């Protein structure tokens, strides 16, 4: 069987594909010493990584090299991450570096990134939870080393900017393993008092010296502060997890003092500006109200209010006239109803019967005599006529239609 004839390029491409398909080679973490270091004019970095028994060519393109926080060089031990592939033109496999860090800091950096990702996932660094610093704090708490330059700078700047502010310093160890518990305990002391703002931090140092501010216990304690808290650790290039947990990050302790405490002169300028603003707004408001009153005063109805009354008076006259007509109509109706009812009552009245020649006979006690038997001979009775009445005595009684009548 005849073997397939391959070109050099095909072999290089084949090996490259094998490496690309190898999951282990697609993401590697390599530790070694830099040799043959070259920074090309394009910004790309070319070098080799070696250990006691071997070496591998490496390239770091400019887009990744620009993010380096230090200057790599020959003989430096570093920790790099990236992938292994083949440079087809030369048939050379090499390490394509995406990230690089000093080897001493490599392990710490990995721990830093791991914890940062964890706490970010919990929302501990959420910007929505950040609080604004008070405009004019009355009490400022400080957690730092009592002997370092940071505390001197903090106290000096705060006193210079506003000597009337009370400052409470709780000393703490700010490096090493002992620093973790010390910082947390000192913060707890301030949390139990009514601080307006707290500054926690220290001066510059190596990554290892600043590391306690990347410890989970310290970061969580800062995030749990009941009042706004400022992180001021190291220098501007030093960024710790404490900076992400705090409400405000200051690049240095000195800057933290300036951020926390407004300068008295600056306050006076702000107050003066606000006073002028209020005066201008008040003057503008007074002018507006004055113009409004002048406008009202020039109004026709205000100059001659009787014009408004005239319309109302005419309406009142028309209403009175309608009311009088309604009353007259009601009175006429009621008068007709009264006359009709009076006529009915008159027809039923005894006096009306008397007018036809009849009379009403009553005893002295007012009892109406309806029958001759209701009286006795000799009894006095009163006879009511249409006009006047008569007093008579019963001389005799005579029944009519089976009854006796009365002879007077």
Per-residue model confidence (pLDDT) at position 307: 62
- Count how many Cα atoms sit within 13 Å of the Cα of residue 235 in the half-sphere of its side chain: 5
Q: 254: which residues sit within 8 A by CB, 6+ positions away?
A: 153, 154, 157
Per-residue model confidence (pLDDT) at position 314: 78
**Domain residues of the chain, as ranges?**
8-111, 136-262, 266-307, 360-407
Helix (H, G, I), strand (E, B) or coil at 5: coil
Per-residue model confidence (pLDDT) at position 11: 81
Evaluate whether 229 touches 106 at the Cβ level (below 8 Å).
Answer: no
Per-residue model confidence (pLDDT) at position 77: 86
Superfamily of domain 136-262: Hypothetical protein af1403; domain 2 (3.40.50.10550)
CATH class of 8-111: mainly beta
Q: What secondary structure does DSSP assign to 133-183, as a single string? A: PPSS-SEEEEEE-SSSHHHHHHHHHHHHH-TTSEEEEEE---SSHHHHHHH
Per-residue model confidence (pLDDT) at position 245: 95
pTM above 0.75, yes or no: no
The low-confidence residues of the chain, meaning pLDDT below 70, are: 1, 104-108, 110, 267, 299-308, 310-311, 350-351, 399-408
Per-residue model confidence (pLDDT) at position 308: 63
Per-residue model confidence (pLDDT) at position 403: 45
């Amino acid at each position: 069987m005849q073997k397939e004839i391959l070109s050099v390029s095909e072999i290089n491409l084949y090996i490259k594909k094998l490496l690309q398909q190898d999951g282990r080679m697609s993401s590697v973490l390599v530790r070694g010493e830099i040799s043959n270091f070259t920074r090309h004019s394009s910004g790309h970095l070319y070098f080799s990584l070696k250990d006691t028994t071997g070496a591998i060519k490496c390239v770091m393109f400019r887009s990744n090299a620009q993010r380096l926080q230090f200057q790599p060089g020959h003989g430096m031990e570093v920790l790099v991450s990236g992938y292994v592939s083949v440079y087809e033109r030369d048939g050379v496999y090499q390490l394509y570096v995406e990230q690089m860090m000093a080897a001493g800091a490599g392990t710490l950096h990995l721990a830093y990134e791991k914890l940062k990702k964890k706490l970010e996932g919990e929302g501990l660094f959420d910007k929505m939870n950040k609080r604004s610093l008070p405009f004019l704090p009355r009490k400022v708490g400080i957690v730092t080393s009592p002997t370092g330059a940071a505390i001197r700078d903090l106290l000096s700047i705060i006193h210079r900017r506003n000597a009337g502010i009370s400052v409470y310093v709780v000393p703490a160890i700010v490096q090493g393993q002992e620093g973790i518990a010390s910082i947390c305990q000192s913060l707890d002391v301030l949390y139990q008092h009514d601080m307006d703002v707290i500054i926690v931090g220290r001066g510059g140092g190596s990554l290892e010296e600043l590391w306690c501010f990347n410890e989970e216990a310290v970061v969580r304690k800062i995030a749990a502060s009941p009042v706004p808290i400022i992180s001021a650790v190291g220098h501007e290039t030093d960024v710790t997890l404490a900076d992400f947990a705090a409400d405000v990050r200051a690049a240095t302790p000195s800057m933290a003092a300036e951020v926390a405490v407004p300068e008295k002169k600056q306050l006076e300028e702000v107050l003066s500006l606000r006073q002028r603003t209020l005066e201008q707004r008040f003057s503008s408001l007074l002018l507006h109200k004055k113009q409004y009153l002048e406008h009202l005063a020039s109004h026709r109805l205000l100059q001659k209010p009787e014009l408004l009354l005239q319309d109302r008076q005419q309406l009142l006259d028309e209403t009175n006239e309608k009311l009088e007509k309604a009353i007259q109509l009601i009175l006429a109706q009621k008068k007709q109803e009264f006359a009709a009812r009076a006529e009915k009552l008159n027809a039923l009245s005894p006096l009306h019967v008397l007018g036809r020649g009849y009379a009403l006979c009553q005893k002295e006690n007012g009892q109406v005599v309806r029958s001759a038997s209701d009286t006795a001979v000799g009894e006095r009775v009163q006879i009511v006529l249409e006009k006047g009445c008569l007093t008579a005595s019963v001389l005799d009684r005579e029944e009519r239609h089976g009854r006796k009548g009365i002879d007077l």
